[in-house]
Amino acid sequence: MGARNIMEFKLKEQLPMGTQREIKRIEGVEEGLRTSREVAFLKALEPYVKNKVLKKEGDLILEAEGIELDKYSGFRKGAKFTLLGKTKKVYDNKGDEKSSKWSLRKGK
């Protein structure tokens, strides 16, 4: 097994303004009334839509939540990451800002 590539944490703000406006428009449509194209559009961009930075210090992320846990850059050592889903598991970055290494938080 080779080393995994470092990923950029995907955020809505990184998308072109037109894409951000379309996401906002679709999110304003009640879920049951969205077209299949609108649903597919949001699904294709799901990490950008659901990932959120909750706390930053300068350029480094101290706390975030999202739907994918990967090797990211830009997270301070000790940063907290909540993996969204049914269990909402919490991880701590044992790596550094160049390459995160996530460890499941013990206890609650």
**Which sequence spans correspond to the domains of the chain?**
8-50, 52-108
Q: Average pLDDT for residues 27-43, to the nearest whole number?
A: 97
State the pLDDT confidence band at 95, using cuts at 50, 70 and 90.
very high
Task: Tell which phi-psi region holds residue 49, choosing left (phi > 0), alpha (psi between -120 and 50) or beta.
Answer: alpha
pLDDT number for residue 103 = 95
pLDDT tops 70 at residue 13:
yes
DSSP, res 30: -
pLDDT tops 60 at residue 1:
no
pLDDT number for residue 4 = 57
pLDDT number for residue 67 = 93
pLDDT in tens, 54-93: 999 999 999 999 998 888 889 999 999 999 988 889 999 9
65 three-class SS: strand
Which stretches of the chain are assigned E, i.e. beta strand? 52-57, 60-66, 75-83, 89-93, 102-104
Give all strands of the β-sheet with 102-104 in edge-to-edge order. Answer: 52-57, 60-66, 75-83, 89-93, 102-104
